[in-house]
Amino acid sequence: MRYIVDNQSKQVDSKSGDPCTNNYVWIEHKNGEWTKYSHMTKNSATQKAKLKVGKFVKAGTYLGDGGKVGCASGDHLHFEVGVPRKSGSISATGGFLRDNSNSKRNRTPKICGISGGIFASGTSYDARNGPGNIRKGSSEVARHGVPARDFQCLFDQATGSGYELRWIDGFDRNGKVYYNAVFGPKGRAQRRAYFGLTGKQYQARFDQYSKTGYRPVQVETYRSGTSVRYAIILKKRSGPKSVAYHGVSASAHQKRIDDLTKKGFRPKNIAVASVKGTRYYTALYEKTNIGSYQAKSSLTPAQYQKLFDENKKKGRQIAYLNGYSHKGKPYLSAI
């Protein structure tokens, strides 16, 4: 906490010429930006929220109650992001940024869960719970059922806290896309992750990074309404040769898997999306000498359990598992 004023109670008419005395809180962040919360009710920050200058706060901390103190037309929260000067940065009255002509010290905040991430003039927005803050230091972080509109925010929080996306699973429910994801601490090798891609966008990302030494470590496909969407995680690395394809029919997939197996490739991911009663396959293979394997991509839950038990007796372990809906019924793809 950098600055706190909490002793004002008067609503001020900005046309009256009276000073815009105001209650506010300024918070300094590690990246050099400050955020301001103002027009709060008297004593809500220091007495109710127990805030003090110099106190460290984290996401979710209660800061006070919104009000109409100062030059405010009614109850609301004024939220501001800026990069102040190192000294003399705040005005004595109102807590305004000094040396801010043409708003050159203001920054545009990115808002989670809205189109473009930036508030649009003349548009109303409803506040709601986001995916939650991700703390540093965990060996693994998993999130389930995150709405697509919030996933970029979650991804940004995770990468900002030192994590990388290790696994992503997309699915459609009642026409809306959700994600399951696993994050782990960033390794030495660089990673890139993209989601919500059309087939054309997916191919463009694949081609772009393949030229600079990146290889896919996971491919994913899922339904989005009446369309097929893709996600891909790439890693800059050497190692076994890999082959990937996306959005092919069941017959084309079977031919590819047969041909690649003869050449020594083994499937790593086989993701399936069903749209309008047709299955579309996206797969990743690596050239490896792991020996025998079994891959099935249209298993009912009962068939999967039977196959799992049979393979367990033969000493095989599940290496990949993904679910999807086809003609209103659940199916599983397993390696």
pLDDT at position 85 is 82
- Tell me the C-alpha distance between 259 and 253, whole Å: 10
Helix residue spans in the chain (DSSP H): 148-160, 199-210, 250-262, 301-313
What type of residue sits at position 3? Y
pLDDT bracket for residue 324 (50, 70, 90): very high
Residues whose CB is less than 8 angstroms from the CB of residue 328 and which lie 6 or more positions away in sequence, other chains included: none
The pLDDT of 34-57, averaged and rounded, is: 95
What does the pLDDT average to over 66-74? Answer: 93
Among candidates 255, 251, 201, which has minimal Cα distance to 230? Answer: 201
Per-residue model confidence (pLDDT) at position 24: 96
Q: What pLDDT score was predicted for residue 127?
A: 79
* Torsion angle of C-alpha atoms 55, 60, 62, 65, degrees rounded to 10: 130
Q: What is the DSSP letter of 328?
A: T
- 196 φψ region: left (φ > 0), alpha (ψ -120 to 50), beta (else): left
Closest CA to 318 of 328, 326, 310: 310
3-state class (DSSP) for residue 48: helix
- Express each pLDDT in 152-196 by its tens digit: 989 988 998 899 999 999 999 999 999 999 999 999 999 999 999
Distance in angstroms (rounded) separating the CA atoms of residues 208 and 194: 12
Whether 322 has a pLDDT exceeding 90, the answer reads: yes
Candidates 229, 198, 227, 230; CA nearest to 216 is 230
pTM over 0.85: no
Cα 260 from Cα 254, distance rounded (Å): 10
Q: Which domains does the chain have, with CATH numbers?
A: 1-109 (2.70.70), 111-160+167-181 (no CATH), 189-334 (no CATH)
- Where does the pLDDT of residue 317 fall: very low under 50, low under 70, confident under 90, or very high at 90 and above? very high
Question: Residue 117's pLDDT is what?
Answer: 83
Structure token pair of residue 285: 């293979």
Q: What percentage of residues in the chain have a pLDDT greater than 70? A: 100
Rg (C-alpha) for the chain, rounded Å, is 26
Tokens matching residue 81 = 């992001």
Give the residue with greater pLDDT, 246 vs 133: 246
Which 3 state secondary structure label does DSSP give 263?
A: coil
CA distance 132 to 35: 19
Cα–Cα distance measured from residue 236 to residue 245, given in angstroms and rounded to the nearest whole number: 19
Mean pLDDT, rounded, for 57-80? 91
**Helix, strand, or coil here: 245?**
strand
Which pLDDT tens digit goes with each residue over 233-262? 999 988 789 999 999 999 999 999 999 999
Q: How would residue 47 be classed by pLDDT, with cut points 50, 70 and 90?
A: very high
The pLDDT of residue 199 is 97
> What pLDDT, on a 0 to 100 scale, did the predictor assign at position 242?
92
